[in-house]
Amino acid sequence: MSIFFTADTHFCHKNIIKHEDRPFNSIEEMNEIMIKKWNAKVRPTDTIYILGDFIFSDGVTATQLVKRLNGKKYLIKGNHDLFLKDNKFDRSLLGWIKDYYLLKNNNIKYVLFHYPIQVWDCKHHGSIHLYGHVHSNHHPLLVQLGKAYNVGVDVNNYTPISLEEVLRKLNWIEIWF
C-alpha cells in the first residue's frame, strides 16, 4: 500500500482550463485524462490525500466522479470545494474531511494544508509541509518555505504524486529508506 498526494484537480471546473492554461480542450477531456492518470498510478488499496480544490460541481456529479477514482481518499478542504455543502454528495466515499492534518509516517511529520504557509508544526525539527492552492512554483514567497512541496496537479503533470516522489524531490529519500 502506497501513499499519494494531490491538490487543485478542479474536476468539472471549466474556467480553470483558461485560468491556468491547462492543455485540455474541454472539462470532459480534462476530467477523463486526469482520472486515467490518477487510476494508472493509484491502486484501489493505496491511500491518497487530496489537499483541496478537488471538484467544482454539485453533489451528485461529485459522487459519481469520486467513485471512479482509485484509492482510499482523504480530503483537506480547499476554497473551491463547494460540493461539500450539497447534501447529495456521498461523504462516506471519503475517509474524512478536514481543514488541516498532521500525518506521521516513518518518523517524519507531514503538515497537510490547502494553502502554503510560512510556519508549521515542527518546521525546524524536520517536518515537511505539503500544500496546493497556488497552481505553480513561481511565487517568490514559495522559495522561502524550506521543506515544503506543492502537490498540485499543475506542477505534477496532472497526476497524484507519491510520498517517495515528494521525498526524492526534496532530496530526503535517504531518510525515508
Q: Answer yes or no: is pLDDT of 124 > 80.
A: no
pLDDT score, position 176: 40
How far apart (Å, rounded) are the C-alpha atoms in residues 64 and 139?
Answer: 35
pLDDT digits (tens, 9 = 90+) for 152-164: 999 999 999 999 9
Number of independent structural domains in the chain: 1
Laid out side by side, the sheet with 94-98 consists of 94-98, 72-76, 47-50, 3-6, 161-162
CATH number at residue 165: 3.60.21.10
Q: Answer yes or no: is pLDDT of 21 > 60.
A: yes
pLDDT score, position 172: 57
pLDDT score, position 148: 86
Kindly provide the b/e burial profile for residues 10-41, where b requires at least 16 CB atoms within 10 angstroms of the residue's own CB. Answer: bbbbeebbeebebeeeebeebbeebbebbbeb
Q: Is the pTM of this model over 0.95?
A: no
pLDDT digits (tens, 9 = 90+) for 89-119: 999 999 999 999 999 999 999 999 999 987 6
Residue 176 corresponds to which amino acid?
A: W
Residue 143 pLDDT grade (very low, low, confident, very high; cuts 50, 70, 90): low
Interacting residues of 27 by C-beta distance below 8 A, sequence separation 6+: 12, 13, 14, 17
Cell of 47: 491511500
Cβ 131 vs Cβ 7: under 8 Å: yes
Which residues form the domain of 146?
Answer: 3-176
Mean pLDDT, range 30-47, rounded to an integer: 98
